[in-house]
Structure 1
Amino acid sequence: MNRFESLDCLRALAVIGIVICHILGNIDFGLPENFFFQTFLPFGADYVFLFMMLSAFSMCCAYYQKFKDRQVDLNTFYKRRYLRIWPFFALMVLIDVAFGFSKESLIEAFANLTLFFGFLPNPDIHVIGVGWFLGLIFAFYAIFPFFVFLIDNKIRAWIVLALSIAMTIFASSYFSRPELVVRAVGKWSFLYCMPMFVGGGLIYLYIDKIKKIPVLWALSIAVLATVLFFALDSYHFVAKMLLFASWLIFAIADSVRPAQWTLMRNKFFAFLSGVSMEVYLCHMMFFRAIEKTHVLDFVPSGILRFLVCLVLTLAGAIAFSVLVKKTIFRGIHR
């Protein structure tokens, strides 16, 4: 089984969490100062790490064994990676440059369109600022054959995970000294995020055992991990990796349940998961439009203003994404 339907729920909730985080980071709604609004919702910024783990796991489901068996045509493999990402991203880049034309924007647009800007030492690109994630993901795609070699077996994969965590620690400390970099190494660096990708690969290696885990056990572990994560107030990189791993394991366990419909497996999550990348890339365009038209000025309550802003942003991004995929890029995505 290479299709785990409950993963759609994780992708959908992750992109909603990221949109919420970006909205909260750009407008002060005067929301209540409690755990939900001050800690839980802003944590959505870290859902990009969940996407990394999901990407590694999904890629392994589709290609890991094929690469080991030498059944993959590299030309076809990389063409598919470009066709999945490039068209919509290129459209968003052109729109951004058109509204903020400058010499700098042209250079940054060129870097974006190569999809290799993730290999820059300091990819501080403002044209489609959220696009840094695609640069990172495409770097993972580029080295995926080597990634398969790194996690060739479970023992080697655990060793690579330990080494990658050590590299993350050194990258954010020793290699982030002011005399070495303009800004501290962070999530835009592939080496910094490598443990998330290896974590997704490791989960794939244990997929047969994970399928046998009772879903209630997996749910209990995921809930416990979530409660401990926020209760201990420890947002270390490794803690985030363990948290997201527990969510992914639960989603896998839920996917193999005999039930045809569960809370995580329904048409809405499947639909939103299918446009999650596009919504991630274009949601700021609709948020800025809402901000500039001052439509929120007519909403009195802070919580209500936040909800209206969220609904309008998501609705605009989803509608735009679906329209573009079904018209301009219909043949490509088919």
Structure 2
Amino acid sequence: MAIGSNNRYENLDGLKVIAAFGIVAMHVSSNMGHPLTSEIATNIIGSMTHFVKLFLILSGFGMCCGYYEKFKSGKVNLEKFYIRRFEKNLPFFALLVCIDTLFSIKTVLWRDVFSSLTMAFNLMPSHDMSVIGVGWTLGVIFVFYFMFPFYIFLLSTKKRAWFTVIICYILNWCCCNYYESVGKTDGANFLFLSIYFVIGGVLYLYKDYIQEKVSGIPTFVVLLATAVITMVWYFIPANEFSLFFTVKTSILFAIWVIFAISQPMKLLENSVTKTLSQVSLEVYLSHMMIFRVVEKFGIADRINNGNIAYIVVLFLTIILTIVFALIAKRVIDICFRRLKKAER
């Protein structure tokens, strides 16, 4: 069984790593002007932008693993809950905001700097921030944290949970319809993305049933089914800002999570994925900053082959981002421990 101690599903570490580094690969490709000679490879890598939705499903599922029963039973300490959310995410993000601000001091919008540091910036009228552009995902996740007690209320029974799923799909359609009417899209809108958090919660409610039914299926059959379903998703065309796209994407990633929590897979559950998953969000948040540093060296300009140039730049970006994330997180953890020790 793919469940570990403390109700922790080890295979989800692998999914976090796949999502984080898939997004890195997509951003490097798009910012290099899509240098790959294969159009199919470029399109596949480009579609990895939607791994953000997988992150949101995993956030919904993971938060339920840690807090669903505590909130339902009234045993949660709200002050500790929200302090934990800020302690875990704000220091590293604030570090990136400060670095980005220093390097763009002449053009930075100070309103964006301030609102970013409150972690409430997704509630701003516009989510197009001038600092840490990829940070919009963290903004969406923090709105989810702010609303988490209400989220538990919506998932308090399976019947209410399914009703919430329907409502969130309708809200997604409302957002798509609004985008079409005004001629402008906003993929960072919380209501537009709320269905993915809810899907994660529903998967939590059915986790035992899912494990019972799926764990007996041979692993190779699961992997084959995953590959086929993913290919079907890829070859069925749909506008990104449409209800149909949301439905097919949420189903795809829900199936990924279903298989991950039901099957022991060394590819997803190992010491490497466990280590990398602990900094997966940090890698996501900092990779564009590291890419810009790599870009300054002009490595791609010295390599005539676009495929090789992309692989080299991507490799350097990934390695340097991992090193930066691990070191920064370690230093932040040490500082926090010393501060807490001093307070005593």
Q: TM-score, normalised by structure 2?
A: 0.89
The one-letter code matched in structure 2 to 1:227 is M
State the partner residue of 1:289.
Answer: 293
Gaps spanning 5+ residues in structure 2: where? Answer: 339-344
C-alpha separation between the residues in 1 aligned to 2:210 and 2:335?
37
Percent identity (aligned): 37
The one-letter code matched in structure 1 to 2:203 is I
C-alpha separation between the residues in 1 aligned to 2:127 and 2:236?
33
The partner residue of 1:32 within 7, 30, 37 is 37
Deviation at 1:218, TM superposition (A): 4.2
State the partner residue of 1:12.
Answer: 17
Deviation at 1:286, TM superposition (A): 1.3
The one-letter code matched in structure 2 to 1:248 is V
Superposition misfits of 4+ residues, deviation over 4 angstroms: none
SS of alignment partner, residue 193 of structure 1: helix
- Is contact 2:19–2:51 with CA below 8 Å preserved after alignment? yes
State the partner residue of 2:138.
Answer: 134
Distance 1:286 1:242, change over 3 A: same
Distance 1:226 1:205, change over 3 A: same
The partner residue of 2:125 within 121, 142, 148 is 121
- Is contact 2:91–2:332 with CA below 8 Å preserved after alignment? no
State the partner residue of 1:71.
Answer: 75
C-alpha separation between the residues in 1 aligned to 2:300 and 2:187?
32
State the partner residue of 1:197.
Answer: 197
* 1:212-227 matched pairs, under 5 angstroms: 212=212, 213=214, 214-216=216-218, 218-227=222-231
SS of alignment partner, residue 131 of structure 2: coil
Please tell me whether residue 251 in structure 1 is matched to residue 260 in structure 2: yes
Cα RMSD over matched residues? 1.9
* 1:162-173 matched pairs, under 5 angstroms: 162-173=166-177
Distance 1:136 1:29, change over 3 A: closer
Distance 1:272 1:333, change over 3 A: farther
* 1:78-157 matched pairs, under 5 angstroms: 78-102=82-106, 104-157=108-161
After the TM superposition, which of the residue ranges 261-270 and 143-152 deviates more from structure 2?
Answer: 261-270
Please tell me whether residue 183 in structure 1 is matched to residue 222 in structure 2: no
C-alpha separation between the residues in 2 aligned to 1:333 and 1:239?
44
- Is contact 1:215–1:253 with CA below 8 Å preserved after alignment? no
State the partner residue of 1:239.
Answer: 248
The one-letter code matched in structure 2 to 1:233 is P
Gaps spanning 5+ residues in structure 1: where? Answer: none
Work out the number of aligned pairs and report it: 324
Distance 1:175 1:289, change over 3 A: closer
C-alpha separation between the residues in 2 aligned to 1:73 and 1:30?
51
C-alpha separation between the residues in 2 aligned to 1:67 and 1:102?
46
C-alpha separation between the residues in 1 aligned to 2:107 and 2:288?
22
State the partner residue of 1:55.
Answer: 59
- Is contact 1:218–1:246 with CA below 8 Å preserved after alignment? no
SS of alignment partner, residue 135 of structure 2: helix
SS of alignment partner, residue 269 of structure 1: helix
C-alpha separation between the residues in 1 aligned to 2:58 and 2:43?
23
- Is contact 2:154–2:160 with CA below 8 Å preserved after alignment? yes
